[in-house]
Structure 1
């Protein structure tokens, strides 16, 4: 019998056949990544996978390789919806490779503080309009291929400190005009099939229980008809979360739900029709993805395809996000004619010969390949300039933890880099080995690598073994942090003991902030000799599952495993050698910044300063060689105490697997930089809008800045930033002229087009991201920011060429939220100016218009 093709018939037919128990189970995942199937009714499961800039697949660490795009903040710096759309198509292809159906992306929460641990992961930066428009392009491109997107985290997931329990107190205007806007725009322009709720409380109510957010605003006001899922372990109740419209608890197996829900219905705590509403939306998602056509679907093996066309696109996308912050003296670009007169270039800095491709946490993945700035520059420059000498010096250490084991450690089973890991079905490392696997990274995650035969919640043990052959003789350092009890042995002798670890023990920032503090030990070792390293661990002690129906505090976390590190003794004078190399070189490229240890999910940063002695190193290098190019790799603003002495500064973000090629292209001028900052760089942390109330105290944070976030704050408070929102230089120059609007009168039924002519007045081809800001020039009914971004357009120009950049301002561009009326409004007879700008502080012209006389409206 052929399957019905229309959604309603298929969904209602299946819903009518489901038992109460099956409905209850469908509202939770079946494992870490998959939904609950009902084989007897031909209801298949859906598989999720993390993004936002690469498809990891079903394994947190050491999974199949995947294309790794630049970080979301770098993609936002392109200000280019075409690039975002191309990325969406690439990700959809890789979702098929990973046999997955639901992409857990994009992230759009605002960068409230430069210290936010997940800033690198979000499209929004300072501005909700930019984030919403980029997210809509991403969503449309992915979903064209039948892959669901999951915009997240709803809402205001802008800090990691206390993220499971923090209560975020904000005004209605702050919530509506800033933190909900990127979601609202994306839903209006693209209709994502899924939304993921945040962990935190919003004005006293957990997001997973928040009926105002999930039902009143999301579904009733905005008309969202998709599925809402929890963040992993983010459901804080049984009945209230279902009542609020939280459809799917993840991950599985059921913790809050399952039998608890069916019992709740039977005991009268809720009606079955409430379950039906959630199940219906899950069934609708199965139909939208086309999975309903395969009732007997069995998941196939994940695949990894390193496609040449993906390499080329990622190289271009990475280069387009790089921002040239400063270029005095035109040191850049390093054109062929300049390089002909140069004998030696030095690459200096802790990131110069490292692959700093991404931030940490759920956004991390195993890329097809890795590049390093120094190595890639040296390889790319060798052919056109064979006599140019390129040297490297590290300069200083900047690691937070002892680095994971390098290639000097191999598995005793196959001789490959990594360790051999074994699992036991008891806590004593005894008896039959239940499962074994090769682990490349010594982040020995057990989170989603457990044997399927293991009973959820039952404790187990594991052992990882490696053969370690240090390159040098010296006092070398080992480290370990573990979620449960653990220890490390070297040639059978215990060197680190964390055996008394319990769930109440102190935590560090390792292992998504679930592990013990890092324990270090120095051991005398002989270079060239092979040692046997064993890591033994026991799964962490879990909290009991509650039986009552209104518990809001319980959370059963299963993050488990150990992180072990090894570093050989550093005997050279890193700092002195780097300064000496700088002095003898014609040009210095300093690659500095942060990395996956400093910017990550699960914790926020403590400072805007570069880690370690990087600031001191930069200052000393600049003293001996003024021809120094500073390249910063970070996902958030950093302090720059050396800026006045630095002629050239490049913001390179985290650029994924093509980071080396992309940086090379910009340095030598093969790509004219066109990136512009999606976030304000403040001079100091004290200048930021939330300085006095981030990350809060006693698990409460007050959004005291209200609607004045980012550039809105700096302009209102008359505080000059280090680099403003929207700033970015080029190797050419652009002239703005003839700013105009299509009409001097605006009405909601007749959108207005703003245009500006852009001329490339330099000698090189280039791209310019034009920004359109709107300000109300008549007194508004409530205080408003001086101006707000309401449009942008990117144009590509040859030398001497002129093009028109334009954007359509619709009815949503003019309103503000009146929290007394609880409505978006436009004031009667209001007058506005629209500014064409190269950044939030570099306005090149404006045009004025007004709403039709006697007209006001509700947006």
Structure 2
């Protein structure tokens, strides 16, 4: 019996605990105690549990909580986001990453990590595509199940999100995803079904949006008929933060826990609804029982404390990042480069080489324990001469105040005297985030101009991309080698050098 499953002997104990609770106490368990914690009832031994954002690292905030990554968080390992590690097609690798994140959660006294994101990449414009594994439901489900398996094997709960059909960020709190049942089941729900059946997650998070006109947080077909009755999910369903529209409708539909705290307002509404017969007492009992069950599962976790093995986790992040990289083009076997050739010269071009874009913005924003750059890693690995030119303006980088024409000319000069030019290009950090979608799939015009000019100056040009979503490659016929570097986490710079060489 794994920690992610309920033993039959626990059933009567859970029921006995719920039977000792007053109606008000049961209702209190259906709402958070604050931004990150569940409600405690000490007199019957129900502790408060802490949850934090994931999914590619631990985002435990130091002060007051917020959902969009504005508050500072404790340092933790930033592993490759799902857009990268999903391209490794290896659930065992994601299990190892999940286990490492679980160890960091234990150190920080976190019981549930909010991840992974399983939503399908329906549109290339979705601003949060970097948090999702794939366009393919089988890949997303199998890889996501690996993450849950690794996380929960260490005693930390996972939370599969965002259930379901949350495939755009623009107007996500009001939009209705209108989908016929067959594609809904075969595409949008299939990945979630894979994760539920393969890895038995402790919790599921419902999404902000409506599905066929009904909010996910109050959708009985979604949360009860499909999730519990058909797939056999036996854990707790929580809301995304602020995703509840009607709490009284949501409870009997299958929403057990509203997050964050409503300040007592929602529990009071639930109690009143039970008293007037609008909600059956049995529905409240079921939600309270699942809340108690979650605390019992979390109680098997190792005690909080200890230290993070920063070096080992950074090494795993580097391995995972290297496995995430995809070779798109390699004419004439230009790659791999020879790091031992002392006579070789390499021009490293592009501000991303020194200022990597390694994760997206929003609630998954990790404060990394360290950060490798491709410039440092290439300089260290290559026996030959390595030069650098920023090439284009990048906010927050050393080129921020540079003239675009001058920067491009410097890049061309560097490329023209090198044996190989390596251009680092991609999407700026502000382009990809929770909360809004992209408006196009183009790389910035100044970067495209640099690539075109460098390729004209040096026929041995490699382009390394940093992007969490689809981008057009109008230069694909002008360069012999293209490497898709996605968003690779804190060790992506070293991993890129590993792959290039």
Deviation of 1:586 after TM superposition, in Å, equals 1.8
Deviations for 1:762-814, whole angstroms, at most 9, x for unmatched residues? xxxxxxxxxxxxxxxxxxxxxxxxxxxxxxxxxxxxxxxxxxxxxxxxxxxxx
Measured in 2, the distance between the counterparts of 1:83 and 1:5 equals 32
The residue matched to 1:10 in structure 2 has which SS? helix
User: SS at the partner of 2:430?
Assistant: coil
Kindly indicate whether the alpha-carbon contact (under 8 Å) linking 1:626 and 1:646 is maintained by their aligned counterparts in 2. yes
Structure 1 CA distance for aligned equivalents of residues 301 and 55 of structure 2: 26
Aligned residue number for residue 578 of structure 1? 411
User: 1:238 aligned to 2:234?
Assistant: no
Alignment check: 8 A CA contact 1:118 1:600 kept: yes
| Aligned position for 1:111 | 121
Deviation of 1:16 after TM superposition, in Å, equals: 1.1
Tell me: CA distance 1:626–1:97, structure 2 relative to 1, closer, same or farther (3 Å).
same
Aligned length: 487
**What is the aligned-residue RMSD (CA, Å)?**
2.1
Residue in 2 that maps onto 1:786: none
1:257–1:291: structure 2 CA closer, same or farther, 3 Å change rule? Answer: farther
**Contact 2:155 2:301 survives alignment (8 Å):** no
Cα distance in 2 for partners of 1:93, 1:134 equals: 20
- In the alignment, structure 2 segments of 5+ residues that lack a partner are 1-6, 63-68
User: Residue 322 of structure 1: which of 313, 321, 325 is its match?
Assistant: 325
* Shift in Å, 1:67: 0.9
Which residue in the other structure is 1:15 paired with? 18
Distance 2:14 2:353 in 1: 55
CA distance in 2, matches of 1:258, 1:590: 56
CA distance change for structure 1 residues 568 and 582 in 2, over 3 Å: closer, same or farther?
closer
Larger Rg over CA atoms: 1
The TM-score normalised by the length of structure 1 is: 0.55
Give 1:75's match in structure 2, choosing from 85, 94, 102: 85
Deviations 1:502-558 (A, max 9, x none): xxxxxxxxxxxxxxxxxxxxxxxxxxxxxxxxxxxxxxxxxxxxxxxxxxxxxxxxx
Equivalent in the alignment of 2:479: 646
Equivalent-residue separation in structure 1 for 2:17 and 2:464 (angstroms): 57
Q: Which one has the bigger strand percentage?
A: 1
For 1:105 and 1:8, locate their aligned partners in 2 and report how far apart those are by CA, in whole Å: 27
State the SS of the aligned residue for 2:482.
strand
Distance in 2 separating the partners of 1:65 and 1:273: 43
1:64 aligns with 2:64: no
Q: Which residue of 1 aligns with 2:57?
A: 54
Give TM-score scaled by structure 2 length. 0.93
Question: RCO higher in 1 or 2 (8 Å CA, sep ≥ 6)?
Answer: 2
After TM superposition, list the pairs within 5 Å mapping 1:843-854 onto structure 2.
none
Aligned-pair CA distance for 1:569 = 3.9
Instruction: Describe how 1:270-309 pairs up with structure 2 within 5 A.
Output: 270-290=279-299, 305-309=308-312
Shift, 1:306, TM fit: 4.4
Q: Which residue of structure 2 aligns with residue 122 of structure 1? A: 132
1:152 aligns with 2:155: no
Whole-angstrom distance in 1 between the partners of 2:379 and 2:415: 17
Q: Tell me: CA distance 1:7–1:139, structure 2 relative to 1, closer, same or farther (3 Å).
A: same
How big is the shift at 1:316? 1.2
Q: Which moved more, 1:80-89 or 1:169-178?
A: 80-89
- Residue 449 of structure 1: aligned partner: none
Contact kept? 2:61, 2:72, Cα under 8 Å: no
1:27 is aligned to 30
Query: Distance between the aligned counterparts of 2:297 and 2:140, measured in 1?
Result: 25
Partner residue in 2 for 1:207: 216
> In the aligned structure 2, how far is the partner of 1:222 from the partner of 1:72?
24
Bigger share in helix: 2
Equivalent residue, structure 1, for 2:98: 88
Alpha-carbon distance in structure 1 between the residues aligned to 2:202 and 2:496? 36
* Residue 607 (structure 1) aligned with residue 440 (structure 2): yes
Alpha-carbon distance in structure 1 between the residues aligned to 2:484 and 2:240: 31
Shift of 1:658: 0.6
Match of 1:374 in 2: 375
Q: Counterpart in 2 of 1:346?
A: 347
- Alignment of 1:175 with 2:175, yes or no, is no
CA contact (8 A) 2:218 2:255 kept: yes
Q: CA separation in 1, counterparts of 2:260 and 2:381?
A: 45
TM-superposed CA distance for 1:243, in Å, is 1.3
Q: Distance in 2 between matches of 1:392 and 1:580?
A: 11
Contact 1:397 1:612 in 2 (8 A): no
Residue of structure 2 equivalent to 1:262: 271
Question: Which residue is equivalent to 1:432?
Answer: none
Structure 2 residue aligned with 1:219: 228
Provide closer, same or farther for how the CA distance between residues 607 and 256 of structure 1 changes in structure 2, counting only shifts above 3 A: farther
